[in-house]
Amino acid sequence: MPQLCGRRDERRQARIGHSAPPIFESLPSLILQFMLQIHQPKTSVTTGGDTDNGGPGFILGDADFTNDGQGHYYFIYENARDTHPWKYTLLTPGTSIFISVCNTFHGRIVRGNPNFNLEPGTVNNLGTWVEMGWEAPEGKVAWGDVSLLEGYDGAATLAAMDGSGVATGFDLDLLAGVPPGILTRKRDGSVAIAKTVGDGANVAAKEYELSKLSPTTQASIVNAYKPVIGSRNARFNVTMYAGTY
């Protein structure tokens, strides 16, 4: 099945420091979104990994050993397609796969449940986002961060694979000893920490996360700081730790 690559929406463009002038965000944007909807596949693609030919992409690894070997689902969304995952996979603890992307891909990896994330027309934004974006035309540079702006449902790290040693994210379980007043539930009933921005933002959740993590090096918690890293070879290593699904 052909690989689709949507544009970044304005909010996520701001996170990685790239935004287009307003004149370029009007008619061309509407045309592009219309064309993407026409060519969007009717079903999400389940994957056991792609062949790694050295091109743009990321390794996705499961390091959640809290469930005695139980598998965990991860969903990959393209930006501006919150109701339709591009791909999803089931990983068991200690395993990893490579996901190849095109050189204009911008999106995120999240935990999830196929009974809910694959339900047509639904939005499942609550939880930790590992965000990544590739720069066209060659896609030789990629950017990414770990974001808690839309909530927290588990730890994650993101590391460049260009030999620089640059990394962001964390492996701390924020749900351990969490104050009950900042908890909410995802659509499947599993617990998560509430989001920190936008309508319904939880100020106590923001304060709790800021007491545990650095907003300049580990995770996006407030809009004032963007702990984004780059990979000069357009490849990342993503590790997902204990969380809820």
131 phi/psi in degrees, rounded to 5: -100, 140
pLDDT tier at 30, thresholds 50, 70, 90: very low
**80-94 per-position pLDDT tens digit:** 999 999 999 999 999
Beta pairing, strands 106-112 & 45-46: unpaired
Three-class SS of residue 60? strand
Give burial (CB, 10 Å; 0-12/13-18/19+) of 63: middle
pLDDT tier at 137, thresholds 50, 70, 90: confident
Per residue, the 3-state secondary structure of 146-210, as one string, reads: EECCCCECEEEEEEECCCCCCEEEECCCCCCCCCHHHEEECCCCCEEECCCCCCCCCHHHHHHHH
Percent of the chain residues past pLDDT 90, beyond the cut = 79
**182-236 per-position pLDDT tens digit:** 999 999 999 999 999 999 999 999 999 999 999 999 999 999 999 999 999 999 9
State whether CATH 3.40.50.2020 applies to domain 10-243: no
Per mean pLDDT, which range of 33-37, 155-159, 237-241 is the poorest?
Answer: 33-37
- pLDDT greater at residue 124 or residue 6: 124
pLDDT attached to residue 141: 94
Count CB neighbours of 189 within 10 A.
Answer: 9
Per mean pLDDT, which range of 32-46, 154-168, 212-226 is the poorest?
Answer: 32-46
Radius of gyration of the chain (CA): 17
